[in-house]
Chains A and B, each alone.
Chain A
Amino acid sequence: MIKSQPTKLIPRNAPALLKSRETNPKPRLLIGNPISTRLEAGIGNCFPGLECDLRNLERRFFPFLEADMPDATIDVISVDIAGAEAAARDGTLGKANLNGYRTLHAGGSWTVEKIKGTFGSLGQQSLTLADLNVTNPTSFGPRRKPIDPWTAVRMLTEGTNVTLVLRKKHTGAAAHRVTLTGKRARYLGDDGALAEMFLPGEMTQSLCSPWTHDFRDCSCLYWASNHPDIAQPPEPGPKHTDRGWDLFVPWERTDRSLDKPPAAATVNGPSDDAIFGHYEINRHWQDLNFVIEGRERLHPYTQQAFNAKPLANEKDLETHLRYAAGVELAVLQEYLAAMYSLKPDEDLSGTLLDNVRAARAELMRIAIGEMRHLRAVNNVLAARIGKRNYRPALGIASALPPVHPGQKQMPVSFQPLTCEAVRRFIEIEAPSESVDGVYAPILATLNQVAREDEIQAIRTVMAEGEDHYLTFTSIQEWLHAFDEKDYLRAPKMSRPPASNRNHRDLQVLYGKLLDTLYEAYSAGLPDGATKLSGARAMMVGDLDPKAKMIADDGFLVVFDVPKDSRFTPINPPSS
């Protein structure tokens, strides 16, 4: 019977549907945006947006309200009165608030007059929007105000209480006012997707168009990656002598001739007639040159040859890797000594406070980066020589590589973050120099013998070195306008005397840290994970406070080499 008339089974739950779908696939229409348009996949920015205008999040910062934020106001666009009524029915919205929403819904143009709430790191404040000053903001110091209404809303801490005083526009002195309280809305759901209150397409409204006026008006920092303001002009030939060809020039210049070097860019930017105007850019944007490595290119780009020579054998590779690890450990200690030499926040004010905070944060970020490099080098080392033969490389380098090939090696030197120290750090991290030079032969060797992940690990270390280099140039820029004595605890700081108790404590902690790292690296992952995590906690929880105490005593934060053969300093390889 069954053979002549097949049994019909109608799927009822998800795995039954899966079975029927696999047996009988059928195209289906799904409503909603494709996955490539999710917030995290896009370039989100604002004024306007490239792929998502983040201002659209703020339009729904307050429950049941949709707001528009032109330059200096927050205006109510719509009220979700059905939502408010429903919330009142289930008891989550109070009567006073409901009446407020009803008043707003009844008509008229409403604008926010005051916001009271928790503005992130700026703390609890009550702001009158008319008092916010975009052109002359108080941009630093505690209790500073956000610079404009949108920034204020942007800073409101999710889930905290917000009180709005709204005023009916065009009603004169005896203006009609409504006060609402609610929580700053959550923009994302628990699964990380946009909250349900946002409508499809809402994030992608108010986008800019790269081929129109925005392309001219929005400077390089605005565009994702493909719009420099300035670039070196196309090279006339490899042996040019006129330095003008190496200077940076406006990329959107109207004078496209290449008979002589174009006029160099200036700090103040080009004059309006030196670059394409609004209508010209519409017609000429395709004439702009591609820029690779900072230079405009008229011809297909050929990558520079990688000149480093591979090392002779695996033994040499091990020696170089051990030294590289030692160099990471040495430079990170130099950076930390410099970082702790900066004055604490409470002794600073104004722009300098902001600049020092930025410098300190960046130095810490770089130091953490060097720790990651130390681990990456150790991972490669373990992979190359096998877990059985592997001993973690945790000895500090006895000397740093020379700044330029052929010069003398540099002694490891701990000093405050003086101008001279910053220059030294820039040289250490400069591409193709110093530290980069240590890795070049390692990479050349790995290119021949190693697995792709080992090669990529070293390439990443080298690439991040370039980021460190650029960051140090920024730090130089932030601090150079000030006197060293204004931001350093003292321009000359010495190592603590042996009698300094905090220094002695720090060395004990440092010994323990190296010990923990040694065990963690030896065990590898996942077995060493707990120890590794413990080492991280030790750095943040124990070493950092101790180092601050030493700095407060007025001394440099330095780490002594423990008397332990596992951590003996590493000399530079002889070859």
Chain B
Amino acid sequence: MQRIATIAPDPAAPMFHRFRSEGGEHVLIVPYSRVFDLPAEDAAAFDGDAAARDVAVAALARPESGEVSLDDVVAPQPQNISLNVSSSCNLSCSYCYAARGGFEGAQAEPMSWPTAKAAIDALLARADPAAPVTIGFLGGEPFVNRELLHACVHYGAAADRHRGFNIRFSVTTNGTLLRAEDIALLRAHRFAVTISIDGGTDVQDRQRPGAGRNAAGSFARLRRAIEPLLADPGRAQIAARATVTRNDFDLVRRFADIVALGFSEVGFSPLRMGKTAGEALRDEDWPVYLEAIKSVARGEVDRFRAGMPIRLSNLAIALKQIARGACSPYPCGAGGGYFSVAADGRWYACHRAIGRREFEMGDSSGLDSEYRHDFLERRHVHAQQACGTCWARYLCSGACHQEATARTDSGCGFIRGWLDFCLAAYCDLSGPAMTTLPEALETVAL
């Protein structure tokens, strides 16, 4: 990994964040996301003497061996790509960022095999074979171009077998076109399958109607098509992803409707930027949305206490990341380890940016490293003025690059509110698990 620059943080950046769980008082050390419990009497001392506290926090915020500096701008080798195999879709969801795969004319034709093969070859030529490599499929609806998708998987699997790569696949699909042979393919490989489904019949049919002559709702078709896959996913991991518009915040019901189909993982994504007026969340909606997703999460926390797995992936992922101390100056791998290849072979920093010049990074014959380095510098969280004074800066990392322009105080307030909830839930839920670790009883004297 090549370090290309360093960007110092805002000197006024908060270094810790105090929060409370059912079990007591806690502190998050912002750099490296270290979570500590504060016994009640110590909490008062911690909050009382700012000078002594700042010295202690500064010591805890320093990296330990194996932890990299958060000031570094690094350009990792491409390790994951998504291929925009299709440029069309059989559904016509009004909020689609890809305009049904056509990206407003930027992606007129589906991807060809030589383009896909060149992209995979280029990825494998650069990727670190010791780390997992992911090839994703997007579009449009990827299964509109199923021949190409199958060909790419077989090609990738051959590289896995014969060239020592550890290749995984991912696909985001509306699920309605899945045939037996597609399901067999998904089962046979390490596929992360994300099914776009917004809720039960009413929500799904309203938000995700068919396209053209087949304009009826998609719920029934989807249910039929994915039933066998959910019943036997093989090696695939199946998750549902639901888009939330400002028209319906009854997430509890939607969650229940989706789970009833047999999904064991369901995630919600609020619509921040909509193509159609009236769908994207507005400032006044964020507190409502926060309460809605917390309602679902509370139900899952109770389930977890009763010994069952957490199905809300927003919560499950957050807990896992807090446990391992996730902390990054970037919200995702865009332009770093991850690229999205358009149907015409151009490499973009992200799949949502197809056709946008400022996100174009090169093609399979090579990346424009100067432009890429510039992009990585610009997108580092230390370069985001609004993030400089936020305690959540290494957990949220400025959020999706595409949505940065839609960032508002209210939207950021939601993210902090949700993280606060997850931090508290982590402390409450990790209690019994932590007692199995002798280190948990060790204390550090400040």
Q: Interface of A with B (CB < 8 Å)?
A: 1-3, 5-24, 26, 28, 190, 526-527, 529-530, 532-534, 537
Contact = CB atoms under 8 A, between A and B. Distances in A.
Nearest to A11: B36
B223 interface: no
Contacts of B446: 2, 6-9
Contact of A533 (B64, B125, B441): B125
B259 interface: no
Contacts of A534: 121
Interface stretch (B89-97, B170-178, B432-440): B432-440
Given A7-B46, A10-B37, A13-B324, 18 more contacts: A2-B446, A6-B445, A7-B56, A9-B443, A11-B439, A11-B443, A12-B434, A17-B442, A19-B60, A20-B442, A23-B444, A28-B439, A526-B126, A527-B366, A530-B118, A530-B121, A530-B122, A530-B125
B440 A10 contact: yes
Contacts of B323: 13-14
B370 interface: no
Interface in B16-48: 26-27, 29, 32-39, 42, 45-46, 48
B444 A2 contact: no
Given A10-B443, A15-B34, A16-B325, A2 B45 contact: yes
Contacts of B445: 6, 8
Nearest to B364: A530
B54 to A, nearest CB: 11
Given A22-B64, A28-B438, A15 B122 contact: no
Contact of A10 (B36, B45, B56, B322): B36
Interface string B244-263: 00000000000000000000
Contacts of A18: 34, 64, 66-67, 325
A484 B48 CA distance: 94
Interface in B320-348: 322-325, 327
B214 interface: no
B34 A1 contact: no
Given A15-B34, A16-B34, A19-B444, A537 B39 contact: no
A20 B434 CA distance: 15
B49 A1 contact: yes
B343 to A, nearest CB: 19
A532 B122 CA distance: 10
**9 closest Cβ pairs, A-B complex:** A15-B325, A529-B125, A2-B52, A9-B36, A16-B34, A10-B37, A12-B35, A13-B35, A6-B445
Nearest to A523: B366
A9 B322 contact: no
Contacts of A6: 445-446
A19 B48 CA distance: 23
A532 B125 contact: yes
B354 interface: no
B53 A11 contact: no
B434 A8 contact: no
Given A9-B37, A12-B35, A12-B37, A17 B437 contact: yes
A1 B37 contact: no
B153 interface: no
Contacts of A15: 32-34, 64, 67, 324-325, 327
Contacts of A537: 121
Contacts of A14: 323-325
A417 B442 CA distance: 72
A31 B323 CA distance: 22
Interface of B: 26-27, 29, 32-39, 42, 45-46, 48-49, 52-53, 56, 60, 64-67, 118, 121-122, 124-126, 190, 322-325, 327, 364-366, 426-427, 430, 434, 437-446
A530 B364 CA distance: 8
Given A532-B125, A533-B125, A11 B440 contact: yes
29 contacts: A1-B48, A2-B48, A7-B45, A7-B446, A8-B38, A8-B445, A9-B36, A9-B60, A10-B440, A10-B443, A11-B443, A12-B26, A12-B430, A13-B426, A14-B325, A15-B32, A15-B64, A15-B327, A19-B444, A20-B439, A21-B442, A24-B444, A26-B442, A28-B438, A28-B439, A529-B125, A530-B122, A532-B125, A533-B124
B335 to A, nearest CB: 17
B445 to A, nearest CB: 4
B35 A16 contact: yes
B49 A2 contact: yes
A200 B268 CA distance: 42
Contacts of B440: 10-12, 17
A539 to B, nearest CB: 14
A536 to B, nearest CB: 9
Contacts of B121: 530, 533-534, 537
A8 B27 CA distance: 12
Nearest to B27: A9
Contact of A19 (B64, B365, B437): B64
Nearest to B48: A1
Given A22-B65, A527-B366, A533-B125, A12 B36 contact: yes
Q: Quick one: which of A14, A529, A532 has the most chain B CB within 10 A?
A: A14
B429 to A, nearest CB: 11
B64 to A, nearest CB: 5
A24 B430 contact: no
A156 B65 CA distance: 45
Contacts of A532: 125
Contacts of B434: 12
A64 B49 CA distance: 60
B45 A20 contact: no
A203 B46 CA distance: 52
B101 to A, nearest CB: 27
B35 A8 contact: no
A19 B365 CA distance: 44
Contacts of B439: 11, 17, 20-21, 28
B118 to A, nearest CB: 8
A529 B437 CA distance: 46
A526 B124 CA distance: 12
